[in-house]
Structure 1
Amino acid sequence: MCNDFFQNNECKEFCDNRKTLVVKDSGNKQEYRVTNDKDKEICKIKVDGCLIKEGEKCDYLIISCEDKSAFFVELKGHDLKKALGQIDSSITKLKDEIQEFKLYARIVLNRNPTPDINSSVEIKLKKRLKQQNGKDNGDLIQYKSKVLQESI
């Protein structure tokens, strides 16, 4: 069961056990797809312009209630650094609501990013996610062009 903040939020698009969840902005090609094989309760929450109205923010937040996992999703043209910054900023603004969650960053770009392996923004965010998640790190940050798909 998700906490009331997410369960009763006006920005919640749904909280249910659907098998497939797709995050997509109208008119854009980028897509984040989640396969829910284990029938978990998953919430899709619109962040940009709803949950967070000011400053930098990501597009969506996907919450897996049973796992206490939160996936910050940004659909972006090609600016990976900016997308990482938007996710970092969203985590800061929602830190009280997501204290007990494991956090992950998911970025779907419209074309392949120019890898900037030592990007200070990425290093900082990875460090922050590691601190929050403790030993269970999983894939902290994933980015891909066009479609990013995973099972949760």
Structure 2
Amino acid sequence: MCNDFFRNNECKEFCDSRKTIVVKDSGNKQEYRVTNENGKEICKIKVDGCLIKDGERCDYLILSCEGKSAFFVELKGHKLEKSLNQIDSSITKLISEMQEFKIYARIVLNRTPSPDINSSVEIKLRKRLKQQNGKDSGDLIKYKSGKLEESI
């Protein structure tokens, strides 16, 4: 279950078992869409300017309460490295509330990023997520242009 820090937070948009969760900023094309196949409780929380008001931060946090999975979501133009930094910073600020969660980074860009295979930022974040999640942790970091969809 999601803890009260998230469930009772003013930044929570919802905590329920709806089938489709959409993260989108008004006026932007980028979209992160989650299909909740098993009707689990999912919380959608606004991070930017609400849960975290200063410093680098991502846009949203999607929590699968029963599955103990946390998806840090950033909707961005094309700056992949900046997005990775924002997610890393958000994790740092919220990690004490998420000890039992597996943590994932999800980034939706409006332009296809030119992958920087040697990006130290990405390598560092991937290593951190692997440490947090342990073995069998799936796709730690996913990024795509336009629309990113997955099922949880």
Q: Fold match, TM over 0.5? A: yes
> d(CA) in 2 for partners of 1:115 and 1:30?
18
Aligned to 2:109: 109
* TM-align CA RMSD: 0.5
Q: What amino acid does structure 2 have at the position aligned with 1:146? A: G
2:103 partner SS: strand
Unaligned runs of 5+ in 2: none
Q: How does 1:46-65 map to 2 (within 5 A)?
A: 46-65=46-65
Q: What amino acid does structure 2 have at the position aligned with 1:68? A: K
The count of residues paired between Structure 1 and Structure 2 equals: 152
1:41: how far off? 0.3
Q: What amino acid does structure 2 have at the position aligned with 1:28? A: N
2:97 partner SS: coil
1:136: how far off? 2.4
Aligned to 1:24: 24
Aligned to 1:67: 67
1:94 partner SS: helix
Aligned to 1:90: 90
- The percent identity for this pair of structures is 83
2:123 partner SS: helix
Aligned to 1:79: 79
2:149 partner SS: strand
1:6 pairs with 2:30: no
> d(CA) in 2 for partners of 1:120 and 1:25?
28
> d(CA) in 1 for partners of 2:40 and 2:109?
27
1:2: how far off? 1.1
> d(CA) in 2 for partners of 1:12 and 1:135?
30
Aligned to 1:129: 129
1:137: how far off? 1.4
Q: Which moved more, 1:24-33 or 1:94-103?
A: 94-103
> d(CA) in 1 for partners of 2:9 and 2:24?
20
> d(CA) in 2 for partners of 1:72 and 1:97?
14
1:99: how far off? 1.1
